[in-house]
Amino acid sequence: MLLTDDLLLDYARCHRRAYLHREGDRHHRAPEKDFVLKLRREHQQQIQRVLAGQTVVTPQYAPQDWPAGAAATETLMAAGVEQIHRGILRWTAPLEAFPQWTGLELVGRPTLLVKQPGVSRFGDWCYQPVNIKLGKRPKSEYKLVAMFQGLILTQVQATPPPDPQLILREGSSHRVDSGYWLGKMVAAVTDCVAALRGPEPPEVFISRQRCSLCPWYDHCHGVAVAIQHLSLVPGVTPGRYASLQGAGVTSLAQLAVLQPEQVEPEIEPAIAHHLQRQAQAIFENRPLPLGRMHPSRPSLAPIELYFDLEAEPDQDVDFLFGVFCVNHAKQTETFHGFFAEHPRDEPLIWQQFLALLHRYPTAPIFHFSPYEVETVKRLSQRYRMSQYSMRSLLPRFIDVHAWLMQVAVLPVENYSLKSVAKWLGFAWRDQGLSGDQTVCLYNQWLDTADQEAMAMIRRYNEDDCRATHLLRMWLHQWSQGEPGNFSKYP
């Protein structure tokens, strides 16, 4: 069985993903998302920046031809090449220390093999694996992969290498402690091999952040929905899921009637109560009150503003300030989208945004997450907005997500704007478009001035604003205690 470092990386991130990559039906696998392709391009650009001005040698071999790649790499190692880029490490012989790994072909592909002082079968030198990673911190999966490569390299050069090295996004370097991570890597590989050799894929578990970019997400989500898997209940983390299973709570119906003492002390009573209410809302398909209505929340104002941002973190630019203006007195709705045609236009659209807010000095400004207010504070410092103006502006912002979480439990899988608005009956005009993809579209705009790319970004932002407005109206009714109007909006 072939076990590559890429497959081990997949396993470290998601056991099921590794199995599906190897054994899954390709018809269930979606194409890679544009944002994933963008990250890959950025990773290659990062590698090029790190290697700029350095002398490296790349072995020549056909794609996926691991034996040829390994042979070419070992030839360069025997010649004492200082730095080998994209070398192949391969080992097929049994490892006496790990008899459970029988029948494996191990393949590792470190970014670099760097010549170091030492003694190996090649001469008075050895090699150290170095990986250039796009992440900003030395994640555990990076370290496991580095140790896996180090293990193969130990066999290839007949001596343990120096501790593997990680070069991270900001250019910082991190040494992987072999003494600490070797045992963890061996355990991970052993578990990975057992899972890959199993007759069925590992159990599904949906995690919105971890799963969102995976090409198997739609397939796994369909499986989870079909069996009403508890990972679809907001707040059920892998650790809490294990605790629930240990207490015999394995179904949505059981979780919906959970008594906190059933899972003490593994899960705190307040958290257990929250999980029970969330499961009850989903099981009964209806919103439930939290009993903390806020009469201080504003009634409908004559004019209300709904605010959403689009940003490109890598360029440190907020490129679209969207404001949906609802005039209840005149019964009109107007969207204002301030778009930075170039990152240097950010101060211009910031001033345009502020001018609109000052045009309606008493209008509340609704938004869906803390990010909008955090950005306003950050940009006010960047562009030196007066503290007096900020003190008058900040109290106008109202986070409808925070409001929602204080007053209601909804029958939803998560509390993202998309999930909540979808439950309310809202639909985005560009189906399937996400915030990540707007970043790709903005880069497309910068490269080609594609008008459709800009139009899609504006539509997406406007729909976010409109969805926020819809949720605000629902919350207004909910907080007014109007049970006849608790149904979904058309």
In this predicted structure, what is the pLDDT of residue 102?
84
Whether residue 278 has pLDDT greater than 80: yes
277: tokens are 């209410």
Domains and CATH numbers, the chain: 2-196 (3.90.320), 228-285 (1.10.150.20), 303-485 (3.30.420.10)
pTM over 0.85: yes
Which of 209-223, 374-388, 474-488 tops mean pLDDT? 209-223
Q: Which residue has the higher pLDDT, 290 or 278?
A: 278
In this predicted structure, what is the pLDDT of residue 490?
36
Summarised one tens digit per residue, pLDDT across range 415-464 is 999 999 999 999 999 988 999 999 999 999 999 999 999 999 999 999 99
Average pLDDT over residues 183-207: 95
Summarised one tens digit per residue, pLDDT across range 283-323 is 999 999 986 555 456 789 999 999 999 999 989 999 999 99
In this predicted structure, what is the pLDDT of residue 113?
98
In this predicted structure, what is the pLDDT of residue 485?
47
